[in-house]
Amino acid sequence: MAQILTIDDSATMRQLLRTTLADAGHHVIEAKDGVEGLQVAHGCSPRVVITDINMPRMDGLTLIKKLRAIPEYKRIPIIVLTTEIDGKKKQIAKTAGATGWITKPFDPPKLLAAIKRVLG
């Protein structure tokens, strides 16, 4: 399956993502905020990135912009997984380069279906 980078400041959410993705056969790499996510991204080649929006040190919107500035990340799908429901933020994330948007709490089958979709 795919290598997936998950970035979320909640340890509980990282655990839920790890369990859901690993049980589906994916290899999971984790980061606890945007700064760490950007550092980890330079050392791995994920097929998909899943990131929260509201995080300390570097938020998800800034992270998306920084990832999209790296040539290797121009075409890698980035899925936003957040509690945010604001349509304006969703549009800002899309403009920044987000591929998809899923609201927390997430439904594991829907998340896996979204990953399957973006992987083609």
For residue range 68-78, list pLDDT tens digits in order. Answer: 999 999 999 99
Longest Cα–Cα distance in the chain: 34
Quickly tell me which residue has 């919107």 as its tokens.
61
| Tens-place pLDDT, residues 6-63 | 999 999 999 999 999 999 999 999 999 999 999 999 888 899 999 999 999 999 999 9
CB 15 within 8 A of CB 28: no
Structural domain count, the chain: 1
Give the range of the structural domain holding residue 88, as residue numbers without chain letter: 3-119
- pLDDT of 84 reads 83
- CATH number, domain at 105? 3.40.50.2300
